[in-house]
Amino acid sequence: MDPSLTKSWRALQDHAASFDDLDLRGLFDDDPGRVDRMTLTVADLTVDLSKHRVSPAVLDDLIALANEVGLADRFAAMIDGERINSTEDRAVLHTALRAPVGVEVLEDGENVVPAVHEMLGRMGAFADRVRSGDWVGATGAPIETVINIGIGGSDLGPVMAYEALAAFRHERIRCRFVSNVDGSDLIAAVRDLDPATTLFVISSKTFTTQETLTNAQSAQAWLTASLGADAVAKHFVAVSTNATEVAAFGIDTDNMFGFWDWVGGRYSMDSAIGLSLMIAIGPDAFAEMLTGFRAIDEHMAATPIAENAPALLGLIEVWYRTFCDLPSRAVLPYSQALHRFPAYLQQLDMESNGKRIRIDGEPVTYETGPVIWGEPGTNGQHSFHQLLHQGSTVIPADFIVFGAPENAEFEGADAHHDLLVANCFAQSQALAFGRTAEEVAETETDPLLVSHRTFPGNRPSTTIMAPALTPSVLGQLVALYEHQVFTQGVVWGLNSFDQWGVELGKVLASAIIGKLRDDGTPDLRHDASTNALIQRYRSMRGR
Ligand code: F6P
C-alpha cells in the first residue's frame, strides 16, 4: 500500500506547509493543559511529548494515518506469528521472548513459548554455574572474565545492557565485548587475561559472519596456545541458530544456546544472545528485564493510539522526517550507564527503516528512516549541542533521565545527580523556548553580540523519565524504541525486519581480500579508484 495516497497524508502535507508557524512558546501559552495531556505514563516510564511541534490537529491526523495504514492490525499480525518479514519469509516474534509461561504464541501452528522458557532455563543453569564457580576451566579455576564475541545485534544489545546495568553485576565476573575484525579489539580484550579463567561466548545468529568467525578463531588460537586443544570445551560456548556451523567450528553443540530464525539480530538481546549479560547480572535480574519488555508489549498491543507511547513516538518521528524534512534525531541519555544506548538504537532504527523500497517492491516517494546519533549528557553539551541550539538545521532530541543516581552509596552521589538532572532539564528548556533578542538585550548592549547570543528555540524534544535504571526499566526502554521503530516502518510501508543493505559490502569484501593477499600480480578488475586503493595497500605492505 502507498501511504501517501491516504487522506490523512494529504492533510499532514497541508499542516507541514505551515510548520514554521508551529511555535512552542505559542503552543504552551495557548494551552495550559498541554503538559498534562501530552505526558504519558507507561509502566515506570513517564514520556513527556509536550515539547513537540505538533498541534492537536497534527496529532489527530497522525493518529488517523496510523489507523489508515492499519498499525494496530499489523502489530497484532506480528505478535501472532504471521510471516510479516516477507522478503525472508519469516515470522517476527521477539515479543515471544518475553511472553510468560502459559501464554500461547503460535509459529507455524506450534506454540513457541515452552521452547523459549526451556532455553531461558538452560541459560539460567549455565549462568548460575559460572557465577557460583561450579563451572571451571581446563585447569580447575573458576571463570573470572567472559568475552562475548559477536557483531551488530550479537554485540550491541548485550554490551549496551551490560554497561547500563553495571550496578547489578556479579562481583567476581566481568564481561568484555569484542566485535571489530580489527585485531586491536580482541588483543585489547585478552592482553591482561589468564586463559585459564576466561570463557568465550561466540554469539552469531548465522555463525557465518566473517568478523565474528575470524575473532573466534584467533581467540581459540590464543587459548589453545597455553591450555591445549582439549581446553576448548571448557572455555568456548556458542549462541546461534546454526548448529551445523557451530559444530564445524569445533564447539560441542552441548555447549550451544539456541534461538530461532524469527528473532531478528537487532531484536535479539533478550534471547540467548543475552547469555553474557545473564552471566553478569544473574538469571533473576534478566527475568526482571524481560518483565519490563513485556509491560511495554502489552501497552503497545492494548492501548488506543492516542495514548500509546511507542506509537505516538513513531508517528511524531514520521511527522518530522517525512512531512517536515528533518533528517536526523539525537538520542541524549543523561546517564553514563546508558553510554552505549545511542549506538544500540542506531542499529535498531537505521537497519530497520533505512530503506527506500516498500514491502510491495515499489520505491518510496517520501523520506524514511532518520539518522540516529547521540552521546550521553552532559558530555554532548560541550561538543555538538552548539549545533542543536543555534545550527541551521532543526534536530529533534530524546532526553532520557532517571530519578535516582546509579551509585547512590557513593559519597556525593546526590550532588552529582542533581547537577546532571538540572542540565538535562535546562537543555530541553533552552531548545524549546530559546532566548529572544529582546531577552538578550536586557543584559547585552552590543547589537552584534545580541544576535550571536540569541537562541531561536522551537527545537523539539521528548523527555523520558523513570525512577531508576533497573533491569525492568531497561527492558521497558528498549521495547519502547522497538515499537516506535515498528510504527515508523508500518507507516512508511517498509519491511523493518530484513537488512539487504548489508549484503553488497560483504560480497565485495570477499572479492577484494584475495587481491590484497595475492602472492603474484593480482588481476584487478574493479573500478579505477578501488584498483588504486588495492595497489597502494599492497605497496604499503611490501607486496
Ligand atoms: O550487519 C548485518 C547483520 O546481519 C546484523 O543484522 C546482525 O545483527 C549482524 O550482522 C550479526 O549477524 P550474526 O549474528 O549472524 O553474526
Cβ–ligand 1 contact at 212 (below 6 Å) = yes
What's the confidence (pLDDT) of residue 409? 87
Q: Is residue 432 a part of any domain in this protein?
A: yes
HEC profile of 471-528: HHHHHHHHHHHHHHHHHHHHHHCCCCCCCHHHHHHHHHHHHHHHHHHCCCCCCCCCCH
Look at residue 274 and tell me if it is in a domain. Answer: yes
Mean pLDDT of 438-456: 97
If one counts every other C-beta atom within 10 angstroms of the C-beta of residue 373, the result is 18
Distance 208 CA to ligand 1 centre (A): 9
Q: Are residues 225 and 356 in the same domain?
A: no
Query: Which of 499, 503, 506, 507 best tests ligand 1's pocket when mutated (most atoms within 8 Å of CB)?
Result: 499
148: nearest Cα among 205, 189, 94: 189
Question: Is residue 171 located within the same domain as residue 239?
Answer: yes
User: What is d(CA 327, CA 372) in angstroms, rounded to the nearest whole number?
Assistant: 9
Cβ 154 under 6 angstroms from ligand 1: yes
Nearest C-alpha to atom 10 of ligand 1 is from which residue? Answer: 152
Strand segments, DSSP code E, in 325-402 are 328-333, 371-373, 397-402
- Closest residue CA from atom 8 of ligand 1: 153
One domain, residues 323 and 263: no
What range defines the domain where residue 469 resides? 3-68+303-492
- Residue 47 CA, ligand 1 centroid: distance in Å: 31
Give the model's pLDDT for residue 79.
98
Q: Per the domain annotation, does 47 fall within a domain?
A: yes
Strand pairing of 461-466 and 45-48?
Answer: antiparallel
With a 6 Å cutoff on the Cβ, whether 502 touches ligand 1 is: yes
Asked whether residue 213 is domain-assigned, the answer is yes
Residue 489 and residue 507 in contact, taking contact as beta carbons nearer than 8 Å: no
Q: Within this chain, do residues 322 and 230 fall inside the same structural domain, yes or no?
A: no
Are 130 and 56 contained in the same domain? no
The β-bridge relationship of strands 371-373 and 397-402 is unpaired
Residue 205 CA, ligand 1 centroid: distance in Å: 7
Q: Which atom of ligand 1 is nearest to the CA of 266?
A: 8
Task: Tell me, in angstroms, the distance from the centre of ligand 1 to residue 28's CA.
Answer: 44
Counting from 1 in the atom list of ligand 1, the atom nearest the Cα of 211 is: 16
Counting from 1 in the atom list of ligand 1, the atom nearest the Cα of 273 is 14
Q: What's residue 104's pLDDT?
A: 97
Residue 214 in contact with ligand 1 by CB distance below 6 A: no
Per-residue model confidence (pLDDT) at position 445: 94
Is pLDDT above 90 for 52? yes
Please give the pLDDT value at position 214.
98
> What is the whole-number distance in angstroms between the Cα of residue 493 and the centre of ligand 1?
23
Which residues are part of the catalytic machinery?
351, 382, 506
R_g of the chain computed on alpha carbons:
25
Parallel, antiparallel or unpaired: strands 174-178 and 45-48: unpaired
Question: Does residue 325 fall inside a structural domain?
Answer: yes
Ligand 1 mean position to 223 CA, how many Å? 25
- List, for residues 4-27, the tens digit of each pLDDT value: 999 999 999 999 999 999 999 999
* Statement to judge: residues 332 and 271 lie in one domain: no
- Helix pair 309-318, 283-302: axis angle to 10 deg: 70
| CA 13 to ligand 1 centroid distance, Å | 37
Tell whether ligand 1 has an atom less than 6 A from the beta carbon of residue 506.
no
Structure confidence at residue 407 (pLDDT): 86
Query: If pLDDT is split at 50, 70 and 90, which confidence band does 408 have?
Result: confident
Across the chain, what does the average pLDDT equal? 97
Domain stop point among 253, 284, 315: 284
Q: Does ligand 1 have an atom closer than 6 angstroms to the CB of 299?
A: no
Query: Which atom of ligand 1 sits closest to the CA of residue 154?
Result: 14
**What residues contact residue 340 under an 8 Å CB cut-off, 6+ apart?**
156, 159, 160, 163, 164
Closest Cα to atom 3, ligand 1: which residue? 152
Structure confidence by residue, pLDDT tens digits, 129-149? 999 999 999 999 999 999 999
CATH code for position 333: 3.40.50.10490
411, three cell numbers: 559519597
Specify whether 321 is located in the same domain as 443: yes
Mean pLDDT, range 495-523, rounded to an integer = 96
> Does one domain contain both 35 and 167?
no
Whether residue 192 lies inside any domain: the answer is yes
State yes or no: pLDDT of 209 exceeds 90.
Answer: yes
> How would residue 247 be classed by pLDDT, with cut points 50, 70 and 90?
very high
Do 186 and 248 belong to one domain?
Answer: yes
In a domain, 87, yes or no: no
Q: Which of 85, 87, 88, 154 has most ligand 1 atoms within 8 Å of its beta carbon, as the pocket-test mutant?
A: 154
Q: Report how many domains make up the chain.
A: 3
Longest dimension (CA), the chain: 78
- Going by alpha carbons, the residue nearest to atom 6 of ligand 1 is 265
The C-alpha cell 511472553 sits at: 99
Are 25 and 142 within one domain?
no
What's the rounded mean pLDDT across residues 53-68? 98
pTM value?
0.98
Give me ligand 1 centre to Cα 257, in Å.
Answer: 17
- Residues 50, 170, single domain; the answer is no
Residue 301 has a pLDDT of 98
Domain C-terminal end among 252, 284, 316 = 284
Out of 492, 517, 532, pick the residue that ends a domain.
492
Question: And the C-alpha cell for 492?
Answer: 512508511
| Mutate which of 85, 87, 149, 151 for ligand 1 pocket (most atoms within 8 A of beta carbon) | 151
Q: Tell me 271's DSSP state.
A: S
Any alpha helices (H) in 80-209, and if so which ranges?
113-132, 156-164, 183-190
In this structure, the answer to whether residues 230 and 308 fall within a common structural domain is: no
What's the grid cell of residue 195? 586463559
> Could you read off the pLDDT of 484-494 as tens digits, one per residue?
999 999 999 99
Q: 205 CB less than 6 Å from ligand 1?
A: yes
Residue 93 inside a domain? The answer is no
